[in-house]
Amino acid sequence: MMTSLEYNYDLRDEVKAKMKEVEEFCEKNVKQNAIDADAMNVEDGMNLMNPIFDEACKRGYNAFDVPKEYGGLGYTKMESVALLEKMSWYDAGFGITISANGLASGPVTIGGNDEQKKRLYEIILAGGIGAFCLTEENAGCDASNGETTAVKEGDYYIINGTKKFITNGPMASYYCVFAMTDKSKGSKGYTGFFIDKKVDEVEGMSIGHIEDKMGIRNSQVSEVVFENVKVPASAMLGSEGEGFKIAMKTLDVARITCGATALGICQRALDEAVAHAKSRVQFGGPIANNEVIQFKLADMNKATETARQMVKYATRMYMDHVPFSTEAAMAKCAASDASAYVTQEAVQIMGGNGFMHNYPLEKLYRDCKIFQIFEGTNEVQRLVIGRNTVK
């Protein structure tokens, strides 16, 4: 019998088999280790999770949608979104580490030349994972207000500045960095660079403060510091001044996968709540028999499925090459808001147990919050949706 996820995403047999493999891997390696690492200090957590990320990437879980002509599996976006939702069911920090690789590679697949794409896919297929370096202290929502500069010197650019809250910063093999080549032009002065740690000269590049976070503690986030980093002009993505648009187009796609990761949290919280409601006996019977609990579960299920359809709709538009920026913003908002609602209700159904560290719900409750904040706050998503609505 098909699972609802297989039916929902209309998976081909090959992808169903991959889903099964991913589930087995995550059941064995991610499920419990993610809980253990979450409770550790940052460094110990990273030490526990890093070999698991390495193994997942060795198995190609970072590379589902690498095109066949570059030696990849060539899965569709819909298929990789389904697999991402499944991985995130086990741990959203694990899911976001893998999906941030899509965010990091976006500037190359969108704005890079053939040579850069070839190099990118080689890195990814060898198990490498990337980091998207846009955010800075004074350039969060206001992404075009960056202070990192790239100054041309002969055949090189010299990059200076500090990027903040960079997912996968400490573990990345490649970095897509946005820097001002002409600050006076605002968003039109931004330029993107693709830095391959192995090949490019990266002397002067270092990992700064590593964040200690409230949730998705298994996703590593740090500063990435550039001090007179000399990169060849061939590392530039597109031409000077194109960086902001490349970054925005990348974020449009990433907002879909961000939504898919939040869906993993929704589904896990719902599944945990259902299991608890069926086994918890009060007043002589399982609490799942009470209408008040069933109504909660009904609304949680409805919110999850509604968000999933929005993620799928935006994915379909992306695959059909029709403008999808508005729908991606809607999907990200819907799924992250659903994850906040569903986890809150799941904790409520579990009562005192939901509040305790030895049950998975309190972790999900913390994990979901960032989804309303990163990859563009939900206020920014509303700004995108609103602007496009009045257009």
Q: Which residues are catalytic?
A: 375
**CB 223 within 8 Å of CB 207:** yes
For 279, the enclosing helix (H) or strand (E) is helix 243-279
Q: What are the φ and ψ backbone dihedral angles of 190, each rounded to 5 degrees? A: -85, 140
Please state the closest distance from residue 273 (CB atom) to ligand CAA, in A: 27
Residue with tokens 């968003």: 187
Instruction: Choose between 260 and 270: whose C-beta lies nearer to ligand CAA.
Output: 260
Q: Is 314 in the site for ligand CAA (CB under 6 A)?
A: no
Is residue 132 at the binding interface for ligand CAA, with CB under 6 A as the rule? Answer: yes
Strands (E), 114-271: 130-133, 149-153, 156-167, 174-180, 190-196, 205-210, 221-232, 236-237
- Longest Cα–Cα distance of the chain, Å, equals 80
187 binds ligand CAA (CB under 6 A): yes
Q: Which is nearer to ligand CAA, 48 or 248 (CB)?
A: 248
How many Cβ atoms sit within 10 Å of the Cβ of residue 72? Answer: 16
The C-alpha angle with vertex 310 and arms to 371 and 338, in degrees rounded to 5, equals 40
Of 251 and 270, the one with the shorter C-beta distance to ligand CAA is 251
Q: In the set 105, 135, 148, 304, which binds ligand CAA (CB under 6 A)?
A: 135
Q: Smallest Cα–Cα separation from 161: which of 180, 174, 142? A: 180
What b/e sequence results for 149-179 when a residue is b if at least 16 CB atoms lie within 10 Å of its CB, and e otherwise? bbeeeeebbbbbbbbbbbbbbbbbbbbbbbb
**Residue 202 binds ligand CAA, judged by CB under 6 A:** no
Single out the segment in contact with ligand CAA by CB under 6 A; choices: 44-52, 55-63, 129-137, 307-315. 129-137
Q: Which residues contact 63 (CB under 8 A, 6 or more apart)?
A: 57, 72, 73, 124, 125
Binding mask 67-106 for ligand CAA (x = CB under 6 A): -----------------------------x---x--x---
Q: Find the binder of ligand CAA among 84, 104, 134, 225 (CB under 6 A).
A: 134
Site membership for ligand CAA, residue 368 (CB under 6 A): no
Q: Which of positions 231-270 make contact with ligand CAA (CB under 6 A)?
A: 244-245, 248-249, 251-252
Does residue number 216 form part of the binding site for ligand CAA (CB under 6 A)?
Answer: no
CB atoms within 10 A of CB 354: 23
Of residues 141, 65, 134, the one with CA closest to residue 99: 65
Per-residue contact string for residues 162-181; x = within reach of ligand CAA by CB under 6 A: ---x-x--------------
If the CB atoms of residues 96 and 350 are measured against ligand CAA, the closer one turns out to be: 96
Residue among 197, 64, 78 nearest 121 (CA)? 64
* Residues ≥6 apart with Cβ < 8 Å to 95: 84, 85, 87, 88, 260, 261, 264
Q: Which is nearer to ligand CAA, 35 or 383 (CB)?
A: 383
The yes or no reply on residue 376 touching ligand CAA (CB under 6 A) is yes
Position 380 contacts ligand CAA (CB under 6 A): yes
Token output for 283: 């007043």
Instruction: Decide: is 347 part of the binding site for ligand CAA (CB under 6 A).
Output: no
Stretch that binds ligand CAA, among 5-13, 69-77, 191-199, 374-382 (CB under 6 A): 374-382
Is the C-alpha dihedral spanning 184, 134, 374, 19 positive or negative? positive
With CB under 6 A as the contact rule, the residue among 40, 158, 207, 383 that binds ligand CAA is: 383
The nearest distance, CB 224 to ligand CAA, in angstroms, is 12
Q: Which is nearer to ligand CAA, 38 or 345 (CB)?
A: 38
Stretch that binds ligand CAA, among 35-43, 45-53, 68-76, 380-388 (CB under 6 A): 380-388
Q: Which of 221, 193, 225, 226 is nearest to 207 (CA)?
A: 225
384 is an interface residue for ligand CAA by CB under 6 A: yes
Least separation, in Å, of the C-beta of 381 and ligand CAA?
A: 9
Interface residues toward ligand CAA, by CB under 6 A: 96, 100, 103, 132, 134-135, 141, 143-144, 165, 167, 187, 244-245, 248-249, 251-252, 325, 374-376, 380, 383-384
